[in-house]
Amino acid sequence: MGSIKIGWNYFLYSHCKGESNIKEIALTFDDGPHPSITPNLLKLLAKYNVKATFFCVGKNVESYPEIARSIINNNHIIGNHSYFHSYYFDLLSSYQMKKEITHTNDIIYKNCRIKPKLFRPPYGVTNPMLKKAIKKSGLTSIGWSLRSFDTYKATEVVKKRLKKNTKPGDIVLLHDTVDDAVVIVEDYLIWLKEAGYKVVSLDRLLKIKSYED
């Protein structure tokens, strides 16, 4: 069971929550960049002056390098979310995993001139091979404490679920590949403000560095 749920830290230490006792949370968006949803989200985040972290898939950065650059130009953070985001990522050897992680960092560096230190495993799966690969890559594994729409639930259900379950220090997992992402995130941002929550960047919440020097 140890490889199923990232929050358990059974094989691999992943940061899943800030230690914050104050009402601060961080937003993370996985699986992009997406050609239309990511730009719309960037506009929304600018409107609310919120900084987020985008865990990008290497092949998507290759397809949409200008969108990856606009994430950085808007002062958000980019993290590594593997190259293929294969459902079978957990079956790879540590050598293959490291290769995929390094390849993705190379693509991100080539296009955005940054070297990500933060890695989120595809599907949140962790195992001893990944532990080894991450250690060798020198990256930091990032999980989450609150997830939104991993399965394609109705927009209203997701909105309610986020608001009902938010706690201080949460790392919130969202996706910039879901059609209703902008609608859901705007509703959430409005609620967060009303509820007295501040959205801070992931590096600030966890007091860690996002990039290599």
The residue whose Cβ lies closest to Zn ion is 30
Q: Least distance in Å: CB of 31 to Zn ion?
A: 4
100 near Zn ion, judged by CB under 5 A = no
The one among 30, 170, 176, 187 contacting Zn ion by CB under 5 A = 30
Residue type, 197: Y
Q: Least distance in Å: CB of 178 to Zn ion?
A: 11
Catalytic residues: 30, 175
Report CA torsion sign: 57, 59, 62, 66: negative
206 closest CA partner among 140, 134, 108: 140
Cite the DSSP H helix spans in the chain. 37-47, 58-63, 65-73, 94-112, 128-137, 155-165, 181-194, 202-206
Which residues from 31-50 bind Zn ion, rule CB under 5 A?
A: 31
Q: Least distance in Å: CB of 168 to Zn ion?
A: 25
Instruction: Give the nearer residue to Zn ion in terms of CB position, either 144 or 197.
Output: 144
The upper half-sphere exposure of residue 157, i.e. CA atoms within 13 Å in the direction of its Cβ, equals 8
Q: How many residues bind to Zn ion according to rule CB under 5 A?
A: 2
Sites of contact with Zn ion (CB under 5 A)? 30-31
